Chain A
């Protein structure tokens, strides 16, 4: 155990990785301010995967690793659509998932927004239309913002969230 604490003290705080440049710091600051103003300090996101390859989810999980630590900006991934302000929709909207995505959307309290994450829900990834796919999602649901990328990198997701906050 003592070994661990020695190491822990030597390592310091990773979140302030020098790799994160000044511009990125400004983005984070602006997000924090806007979340504070528009969502009383906490923006709750419900992630819904409607047929992804799982890379988009992996990048969302990476948002909580010590380098990005999204929660510090007041943005949380919540366990139920009933707690959510925003639905983050990833993946190709499949025939089999469509009714469940609608269900989740209906459960969200007003006001609510949908952000699509990655090229899949917009039908811009290399997948072609097939009998099993109902994408693009915008044909079925009101989409406020789209974060492009295949998958968007954690940094791009953060920038995308800021673009969304500026929009509303």
Chain B
């Protein structure tokens, strides 16, 4: 059973621990006075980050865990401060005495540590990678994040769902449409309404466009990290074209504010032409790039995540599908009727993730053409009713999960688990047997979000 998320919320006298599995949910209450629970890490290694976060957020103690280090809170974070507790209302924090973080390290004759980050050499987000090296060979990697933690879960408490939207669409810029779709589904659940088919199509069109932009960017950056800059020039040109289309359709290059309950007329003819041209360009790119042996020398067998490990670590999205797991939140009747074909690779290496992205871009473009429809449906949203709601969406990275509790019309608890949160925890597995120069390539082939992970 795949672990999707594990998180806590504060009730009056207890903490409720919610564990979401594929097709099942478990609830457990622990007394606030002695909030002690048992770890799930033995069955699900990916539970470790969820549990360490729970401790940072609420002070919940994971009795039998082997990893009791803080996760979100860093060296200068005040001790015994648990900001998601309702009583915690401070708007500023004072820096506490520096408490060094103990990295997972391998020691031994000739083994040394390489610390990379949090600020990296390129234009990328901050995060820390700690390598234990024996010469060129990577023995171990610890991924350490949450430098970008903005306290979003707390920030959204006490807001209405509508007021929360501008923040939700800015949690992870590359996945803005996906976040908005999770938000949309929660709004619809809370208002007990159904979305008209034409709006469903418009939203699905935008989600696929977002995927095309994100995948094309990666299809350029992955070869670039193997020293092949020409691919970046070509793919980034295509990505820019797609981004401009996003701007035409939503008045924003990243689609911020793009998901609404109004349909606006799209001119079908130029749009179909645009899609046709893009399909042609992607095919050209494919024939060219598949024919460069030195590139595939670097891609093949690099950064392999076996099917077994991909399952064990509960991975999702591109990473999971490239390792042979057939799982995609778009595998629904609606998507299948519009031409969805699940991309599938078995290699689990950089090559597999690259080819998977190519296949997905082509499928997204085909679906986009099927989603097009002339329509100007509008929809009035009814009053939102209190309750607990959950939604899923397949972002360009993978399965996005959102859970919102509404009490007296306001958000009581906001939870979101970016696909990156689980996939980051599997990254160190891919590094074994590779050399350190492969790291940027492997990291880019997964292209995980730091912002969505850190919240």
Contact = CB atoms under 8 A, between A and B. Distances in A.
A and B bound? Answer: yes
A52 B125 contact: yes
Contacts of B339: none
B100 interface: no
Contact of A65 (B91, B239, B291): B239
A96 to B, nearest CB: 5
Interface in A84-128: 91-92, 94-97, 99-100, 104, 125-128
A127 B163 CA distance: 11
A131 to B, nearest CB: 5
A131 B174 contact: no
B93 interface: yes
Contact of B173 (A50, A58, A99): A58
B217 interface: yes
B173 A55 contact: yes
Interface string A62-79: 101111000000000101
A131 B152 CA distance: 10
Contact of B151 (A62, A64, A67, A131): A131
Interface string A31-74: 00000000000000001111111111111111011110000000
A166 B291 CA distance: 47
B76 A99 contact: yes
Contacts of B166: 126
A129 interface: yes
Interface in B154-179: 154-155, 166-167, 170-174, 176
Interface stretch (B116-124, B264-272, B319-327, B388-396): B116-124
Interface residues of A, number: 51
A141 B154 CA distance: 27
Nearest to B154: A130
Contacts of B173: 52-56, 58, 151
Nearest to B126: A49
A52 B148 contact: yes
Interface residues of B, number: 53
A126 B167 contact: yes
Contacts of B147: 51, 94, 96-97, 100
Contacts of A80: 121
Interface string B372-395: 000000000000000000000000
B121 A79 contact: yes
A147 interface: no
A53 B171 CA distance: 6
Interface string B211-234: 000000100000000000000010
B236 A66 contact: yes
Contact of B123 (A55, A57, A150): A57
A58 B148 contact: no
Given A3-B288, A57-B124, A151-B173, A127 B451 contact: no
B50 interface: no
A167 interface: no
A65 B221 CA distance: 11
A94 B236 contact: no
B117 to A, nearest CB: 9
Contacts of B239: 62, 65
A67 B450 contact: no
Contacts of A81: 119
Contacts of A126: 166-167, 170
Nearest to B243: A62
Given A67-B237, A95-B77, 16 more contacts: A1-B291, A49-B124, A49-B126, A53-B172, A54-B450, A60-B123, A61-B236, A62-B239, A66-B236, A66-B237, A95-B93, A127-B155, A128-B155, A130-B154, A132-B151, A153-B253
Interface of A: 1, 3-4, 7, 14, 47-62, 64-67, 77, 79-81, 91-92, 94-97, 99-100, 104, 125-134, 150-151, 153
Interface of B: 74, 76-77, 83, 88, 90-93, 95, 118-119, 121-126, 146-152, 154-155, 166-167, 170-174, 176, 217, 233, 236-237, 239-240, 243, 253-254, 256, 284, 287-288, 291, 449-451, 454
28 contacts: A1-B291, A4-B288, A47-B123, A49-B124, A49-B125, A49-B126, A53-B176, A53-B451, A55-B170, A55-B176, A55-B254, A58-B217, A61-B236, A62-B239, A65-B233, A65-B237, A66-B236, A81-B119, A95-B93, A97-B126, A126-B167, A127-B155, A131-B90, A131-B91, A132-B93, A132-B149, A132-B150, A151-B254
